[in-house]
Amino acid sequence: MEKLVSAFIFDLDGVITDTAEYHFLAWQALANDVNISFTREDNEELKGISRMESLEKILALGGREDDFSLEEKEMLAAKKNEHYLELIQKVSPSDILPGMKELILTIKAKGHKLGLASASKNAFTVMEALDLRDLFDTIVDAKEVKQGKPHPEVFLTAAEQLGVDPSTCIGVEDAVAGVEAIKAAGMFAVAVGPEESFRHADLVYSSTDEVTYEKVLNTYQK
Ligand code: B16
Ligand code: MG
């Protein structure tokens, strides 16, 4: 008997579009303001991690974790976000990563539900800029959950809002913390990125254009 797939729940940054570069540019400018050097390699560690946790990691990189009060840290995070919001004004449907629009439309046509589970507080803005907001049955972002990835809360909230059992959901992520969150939610995990980073995923693809509905369903059914 075929196993039921009730919903696909996607991560946003790094799966549907690549805003990581804009996060990087905005964090690098902020790091520069506080005399910390911050590289693209350092930025890899921030994927899927919340804004405040990202700031803490950057301050720790420069050994400045004890130099700012909570209020000052909130101001630094707000400054980075203002810059990030300016940068993402350029985002348009042409920034959807290869293969993702087709995959989303196929999932919809096959009658599965579609959810978004993002650690970004800007998820609605980005989904609107990509012209994808109306295709999704639910969008859960960092404003709605208390615990960030790798905690499963954001994926479980999406499943709850879709009215489906988490064990019948397929999650798609590009971050290690995100794959851990999908598995902790009891879902089937599809990872996009280097094979060696995702030992806990059920399926790994090196890029988004390799993720097809048929391939994912075939492995899920096995
Ligand atoms: P914001 P995702 C995450 O989004 C990003 O991967 C991560 O780099 C970022 O720090 C986080 O959102 C918070 O973003 O500052 O916009 O609230 O990959 O979970 O969609
Ligand atoms: Mg991501």
Please indicate, yes or no, if residue 178 is contained in any of the structural domains: yes
pLDDT per position as a tens digit, 174-197: 999 999 999 999 999 999 999 999
Q: Is 35 left (phi over 0), alpha (psi -120 to 50) or beta?
A: left
Backbone angles phi, psi at 167, to 5 degrees: -70, -10
Please indicate, yes or no, if residue 120 is contained in any of the structural domains: yes
pLDDT score for 44: 87
Cα(48) to centroid(ligand 2), Å: 5
Range of the domain at 165: 7-17+92-221
pLDDT score for 45: 87
Among 42, 72, 90, which residue terminates a domain?
Answer: 90
**pLDDT, average across residues 23-52:** 94
pLDDT per position as a tens digit, 192-212: 999 999 999 999 999 999 999
- Statement: the pTM of the whole predicted model exceeds 0.85: yes
The answer to whether residues 121 and 88 touch, using CB atoms and an 8 Å cutoff, is no
82 plus 111 within the same structural domain: no
84 plus 65 within the same structural domain: yes
Please indicate, yes or no, if residue 2 is contained in any of the structural domains: no
135 plus 59 within the same structural domain: no
Give the chain's mean pLDDT: 96
Cα(16) to centroid(ligand 2), Å: 9
Percentage of residues in the chain having pLDDT higher than 70: 100
Joined together, the tokens standing for residue 70 give 């909570």
42 plus 142 within the same structural domain: no
The answer to whether residues 26 and 87 touch, using CB atoms and an 8 Å cutoff, is yes
Q: Tell me how many domains the chain contains.
A: 2
106 plus 186 within the same structural domain: yes
Please indicate, yes or no, if residue 1 is contained in any of the structural domains: no
**Was 12 annotated as part of a binding site?**
yes
Burial classification of residue 111, based on how many CB atoms lie within 10 Å of its CB (0-12 exposed, 13-18 middle, 19 or more buried) = exposed
In Å, how far are 135, 162, 181 from 103, measured between CA atoms? 12, 19, 22
| Cα 9 to Cα 126: distance, rounded to the nearest angstrom | 16
100 plus 184 within the same structural domain: yes
110 plus 203 within the same structural domain: yes
Q: Please state the atom number of ligand 1 nearest to the C-alpha of residue 116.
A: 20
* CATH number for position 83: 1.10.150.240
121 plus 176 within the same structural domain: yes
Q: Is 14 in the pocket of ligand 1 (CB under 6 A)?
A: yes
60 plus 170 within the same structural domain: no
pLDDT score for 3: 85
